[in-house]
């Protein structure tokens, strides 16, 4: 069942172009909307199961020999994320119907979006770590396509490439960490790894596994210093930003941290790493947000800071901190998704996202302004009972005060954590006010706007209005989601039964005073923003993570270019020499290291006169080819070697191989003759004595290596040969008397299928090149 839910978006993406081409009267979004809405309804029906403390699981055999199965698991944590993926996904698709014009490549957009949706569902529902990693990389690929949707824009292509490189680097790190965990626990199941927590903690590979897994989480969730890809990803269409960067892709790292916290939590390394990076990201992101002048740029850094806050709470490790993190994941999706959509509305209706040109739009766009103020106040954590963001922000302060660690270093950090939480929250308040008031209040600058602003159509306002409605309703009645949604998620992260009861008023306590301090100091800083905002221009450029990324890419690009130009000289002789030397050196080294150089004359067939004569002719032809200077003669002599091999296959009673070799040799000789006039002239006198000596040494080395490998392959038997299995089962399993045919069609049918696929792709590539050549491209 769960497998079908995951495959549904992929199947829809596959048939979407066909369905849309058959009915172009409708906007493509209406067709795509069916998938997330249906999945959301189906998953909602599973809430009753989770409330009872039960889970839903499914196992489908995939690669049994490697113990890799498609294990899917729906518990409270994955339920929270699948509802965000499908629910926010449905709203984003609905919003995009009114945001994207029909002139856009809508088929591509919704195919990419559905692929991403299916990939995210696979990530949060997978129990097998290698299946999880597979979907993890699918999210990187599909998000690359979405971010680079407007690929003709340089910034879009740059942002897509940047996000791809950083997240894929983290993904490879994650794979290494998952492999280490599977080695430690002898299982690929996440639940199995959690059950073997003591084994993991006592392993010498614990710290490397933790660092590698968290590297994957940090890069995906844009934690410092890997946050640099997220602002550039804002070049994507606004529906993509609202989906990927508020509710789904950037939350994947948070999901990974929460899912594996039962394995890693309770250790100082996990606490210091996750909480430290989280608080650093919160402070850096919130501070740098006020440097931006683009609406989506501010939202990008606000997302970075909010993700850092959630990551820090997951690192705190206490039950209250986990509840606060889970609650804020939900709240962040509501207010941030709506803010992204409102930013898209402003851009759509005014033609710009530059705050310096905006202002005074409240009178022209009152509904959008109302939605923006409610969402921004919720993000700022303003203490009002109608804002869900204040509740989780208050819980964040509470959890930062209740960290208990025993070691000296960890205890020292717990003393600093509340101050960092307040510092980051102050600037969170300031950038929230900057975003809302800077756009909708103040002087109207109509002359600087590319378009005359007016209120957006109802269809475009509907999606952010629904999210803002959640902000208000959950702010007023937070316990609507505490038992069905939050409690099962907390249970899944902590491994203990959680009792969740949320309320607005907790009395006059330290967290309230921290919130009031944030509002007071944040208000003062916002009112004086124009006086101190120029300080950002004095921040040295070389200190930015973006500059470091560009410098690193430049070094790698220039280095690879120099390295490639060193051997890509256009000389076929050099290319052949490199290939042969590497082949001889690598195989010789490996055979020597494994004691593979053996010689055994047992079980050899006698050499008959026809075989000896044929082999001698092949040897003479091969030697003669080295000295012939006439091209046609050289082609024919080389052909003698190939045809002689076909004759040997006949003597060895292998007609299938003989026919194959005969066909290949005939085609090869024919191609040489067809390309005759393009072949270089065979003039040995052009080579120096040194070049001839090098060629001779390479030829001798390659020939001796391959000869020794062939002899050793016959002489050494490390395990029973598979040929015995084919002989025994080719007729009973394959139903054929020709063993070779049965092997190719049945035993190794997938190999044959992929070989045909490769040939087909090569044919398509050749056809395209010929087609472009005829057009002069």
Residue 369, number of CB atoms within 10 A of its CB: 20
Mean pLDDT of the chain: 86
Which of these three, 692, 718, 744, is where a domain ends?
A: 718
Instruction: Report whether 109 contacts 149 (CB < 8 A).
Output: yes
Are residue 765 and residue 706 in the same domain, yes or no? no
Q: Average of pLDDT values for 6-21?
A: 86
Q: Which long-range contacts (CB under 8 A, 24 or more apart) does 195-203 make?
A: 197/262, 197/263, 200/263, 200/264, 201/266, 201/267
Tokens 């599977």 sit at which residue?
182
Q: Is 43 a member of any domain?
A: no
Q: How many CA atoms lie within 13 A of 58 on its CB side?
A: 14
Q: Is 299 a member of any domain?
A: no
Q: Is 37 a member of any domain?
A: no
Highest mean pLDDT, choosing among 309-313, 408-412, 532-536, 592-596: 309-313
> Tokens for 146?
């979405």
Are residue 330 and residue 469 in the same domain, yes or no? yes
| Main-chain phi, psi angles of 223, to 5 degrees | -85, 150
Are residue 397 and residue 370 in the same domain, yes or no? yes
Q: What are 35-84's pLDDT values in tens digits?
A: 999 999 999 988 888 888 888 888 888 777 766 788 898 988 999 999 99
Given a cut of 90, whether residue 606 has pLDDT beyond it is no
Q: Average of pLDDT values for 241-251?
A: 85
Instruction: Report whether 665 contacts 642 (CB < 8 A).
Output: yes
Q: Which residue has the higher pLDDT, 408 or 523?
A: 523
Residue 124, number of CB atoms within 10 A of its CB: 26
d(CA 519, CA 111) in angstroms, rounded, equals: 44
d(CA 266, CA 248) in angstroms, rounded, equals: 27
Are residue 519 and residue 655 in the same domain, yes or no? no
Q: Is 144 a member of any domain?
A: no
pLDDT computed for residue 774 by the predictor: 66
Which of these three, 488, 503, 527, is where a domain ends?
A: 527
Residue 743, number of CB atoms within 10 A of its CB: 20
> Tokens for 15?
């048939």
Instruction: Spell out the residues 6+ positions from residue 143 whose beta carbon is closer than 8 angstroms to its own.
Output: 116, 163, 164, 167, 233, 244, 249
Instruction: Spell out the residues 6+ positions from residue 491 whose beta carbon is closer than 8 angstroms to its own.
Output: 53, 75, 76, 497, 498
What is the DSSP code (8-state) at residue 126?
B
Confidence grade of residue 632 (pLDDT, cut at 50, 70, 90): confident
Are residue 624 and residue 764 in the same domain, yes or no? no
Q: How many domains does the chain have?
A: 3
Instruction: Report whether 300 contacts 339 (CB < 8 A).
Output: no
Q: Is 165 a member of any domain?
A: no
Q: Is 108 a member of any domain?
A: no
d(CA 201, CA 705) in angstroms, rounded, equals: 47
Instruction: Report whether 456 contacts 365 (CB < 8 A).
Output: yes
Are residue 606 and residue 709 in the same domain, yes or no? yes
> Tokens for 45?
């029906």
Are residue 505 and residue 595 in the same domain, yes or no? no
Integer CA distances (angstroms), 485 to 50, 189, 770, in order: 9, 24, 58
d(CA 606, CA 594) in angstroms, rounded, equals: 30
Return the minimum-mean-pLDDT range out of 81-95, 113-127, 652-666. 652-666
Q: Average of pLDDT values for 749-770?
A: 88
d(CA 104, CA 100) in angstroms, rounded, equals: 7
d(CA 405, CA 413) in angstroms, rounded, equals: 9
Are residue 385 and residue 332 in the same domain, yes or no? yes
Are residue 629 and residue 746 in the same domain, yes or no? no
Domain extent at residue 748: 722-777
Which of these three, 489, 508, 527, is where a domain ends?
A: 527
d(CA 506, CA 22) in angstroms, rounded, equals: 59
Q: Is 146 a member of any domain?
A: no
Picking from 239, 296, 233, the residue whose alpha carbon sits closest to that of residue 101 is 239
pLDDT computed for residue 123 by the predictor: 93
Are residue 349 and residue 491 in the same domain, yes or no? yes
The angle subtended at Cα 276 by Cα 270 and Cα 280, nearest 5°, is: 150
d(CA 750, CA 744) in angstroms, rounded, equals: 9
What is the DSSP code (8-state) at residue 189?
B
Are residue 351 and residue 496 in the same domain, yes or no? yes
Q: Average of pLDDT values for 7-25?
A: 82
Residue 696, number of CB atoms within 10 A of its CB: 11
d(CA 494, CA 649) in angstroms, rounded, equals: 66
User: From the DSSP assignment, how many helices (H) and strands (E) are in the chain?
Assistant: 33, 2
d(CA 346, CA 356) in angstroms, rounded, equals: 13
Are residue 432 and residue 520 in the same domain, yes or no? yes
Q: Is 51 a member of any domain?
A: no
d(CA 211, CA 269) in angstroms, rounded, equals: 9
pLDDT computed for residue 338 by the predictor: 92
Residue 762, number of CB atoms within 10 A of its CB: 10
Q: What are 201-218's pLDDT values in tens digits?
A: 888 899 999 999 999 999
pTM of the model: 0.81
Given a cut of 60, whether residue 542 has pLDDT beyond it is no
Return the minimum-mean-pLDDT range out of 112-116, 269-273, 411-415, 459-463. 411-415
């Amino acid at each position: 069942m769960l497998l079908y839910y995951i495959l549904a978006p992929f199947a829809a993406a596959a048939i979407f172009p066909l369905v849309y081409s058959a009915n172009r009267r409708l906007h493509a979004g209406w067709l795509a909307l069916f998938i997330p809405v249906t999945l959301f309804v189906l998953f909602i029906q599973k809430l009753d199961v989770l409330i009872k403390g039960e889970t839903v699981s499914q196992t489908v055999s995939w690669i049994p020999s490697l113990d890799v199965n498609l294990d899917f698991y729906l518990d409270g944590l994955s339920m929270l994320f699948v509802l965000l993926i499908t629910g926010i996904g449905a709203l984003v698709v609905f919003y995009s119907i009114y945001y994207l014009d029909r002139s856009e490549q809508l088929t591509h957009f919704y195919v990419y979006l559905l692929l991403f949706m299916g990939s995210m569902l696979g990530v949060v529902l997978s129990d097998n770590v290698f299946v999880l990693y597979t979907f993890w990389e699918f999210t990187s690929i599909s998000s690359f396509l979405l971010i680079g949707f407007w690929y003709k824009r340089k910034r879009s292509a740059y942002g897509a490439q940047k996000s791809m490189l950083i997240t894929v680097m983290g993904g490879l790190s994650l794979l290494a960490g998952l492999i280490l965990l599977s080695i430690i626990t002898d299982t690929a199941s996440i639940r199995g790894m959690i059950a073997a927590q003591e084994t993991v903690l006592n392993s010498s590979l614990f710290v490397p596994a933790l660092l590698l897994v968290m590297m994957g989480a940090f890069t995906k969730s844009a934690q410092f210093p890997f946050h640099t890809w997220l602002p550039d990803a804002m070049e994507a269409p606004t529906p993509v930003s609202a989906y990927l960067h508020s509710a789904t892709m950037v939350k994947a790292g948070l999901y990974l941290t929460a899912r594996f916290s039962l394995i890693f939590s309770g250790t100082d390394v996990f606490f210091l790493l996750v909480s430290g990076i989280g608080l650093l990201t919160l402070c850096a992101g919130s501070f740098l947000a006020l440097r931006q002048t683009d609406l989506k740029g501010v939202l990008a850094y606000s997302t970075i800071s909010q993700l850092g806050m959630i990551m820090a709470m997951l690192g705190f490790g206490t039950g209250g901190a986990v509840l606060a993190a889970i609650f804020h994941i939900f709240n962040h999706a509501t207010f941030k998704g709506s803010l992204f959509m409102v930013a898209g509305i402003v851009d759509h209706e005014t033609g710009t996202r530059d705050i310096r040109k905006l202002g005074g739009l409240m009178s022209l766009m009152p509904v959008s302004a109302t939605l923006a103020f409610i969402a921004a106040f919720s993000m700022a954590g303003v203490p009002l009972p109608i804002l869900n963001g204040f509740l989780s922000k208050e819980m964040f302060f509470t959890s930062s005060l209740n960290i208990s660690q025993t070691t000296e270093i960890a205890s020292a950090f717990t003393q600093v954590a509340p101050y960092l939480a307040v510092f980051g929250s102050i600037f969170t308040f300031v950038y929230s006010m900057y975003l809302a008031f800077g756009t909708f209040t103040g002087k109207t600058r109509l002359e600087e706007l590319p378009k005359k602003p007016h209120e957006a159509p109802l269809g475009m306002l509907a999606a952010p209005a629904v999210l803002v409605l959640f902000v208000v309703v959950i702010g007023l009645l937070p316990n609507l989601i505490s038992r069905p949604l939050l409690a099962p998620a907390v249970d899944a992260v902590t491994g203990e039964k959680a009792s969740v009861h949320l309320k607005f008023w907790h009395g006059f306590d330290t967290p309230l005073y921290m919130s009031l301090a944030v509002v007071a100091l944040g208000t003062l800083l916002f009112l004086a923003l124009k006086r101190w905002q120029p300080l950002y221009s004095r921040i040295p450029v070389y200190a930015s993570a973006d500059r470091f990324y560009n410098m690193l890419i430049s070094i790698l690009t220039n280095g690879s270019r120099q390295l490639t130009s060193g051997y890509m000289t256009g000389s076929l002789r050099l290319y052949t020499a490199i290939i042969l030397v590497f082949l001889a050196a690598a195989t010789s080294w490996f055979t020597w290291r494994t004691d593979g150089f053996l010689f055994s004359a047992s079980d050899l067939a006698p050499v008959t006169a026809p075989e000896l004569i044929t082999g001698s002719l092949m040897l003479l032809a091969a030697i003669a080819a080295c000295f012939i200077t006439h091209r046609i003669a050289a082609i024919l002599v080389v052909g003698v070697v190939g045809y002689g091999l076909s004759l040997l296959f006949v003597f060895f009673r292998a007609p299938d191989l003989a026919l194959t070799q005969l066909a290949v040799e005939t085609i090869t000789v024919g191609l040489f003759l067809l390309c005759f006039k393009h072949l270089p002239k065979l003039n040995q006198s052009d080579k120096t004595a040194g070049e001839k000596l090098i060629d001779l040494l390479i030829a001798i080395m390659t020939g001796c290596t391959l000869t020794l490998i062939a002899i050793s392959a016959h002489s050494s038997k490390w395990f029973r040969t598979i040929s015995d299995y084919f002989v025994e089962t080719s007729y009973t399993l394959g139903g054929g008397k020709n063993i070779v045919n049965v092997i190719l069609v049945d035993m190794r049918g997938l190999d044959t299928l992929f070989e045909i696929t490769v040939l087909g792709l090569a044919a398509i590539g050749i056809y395209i090149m010929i087609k472009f050549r005829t057009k002069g491209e």
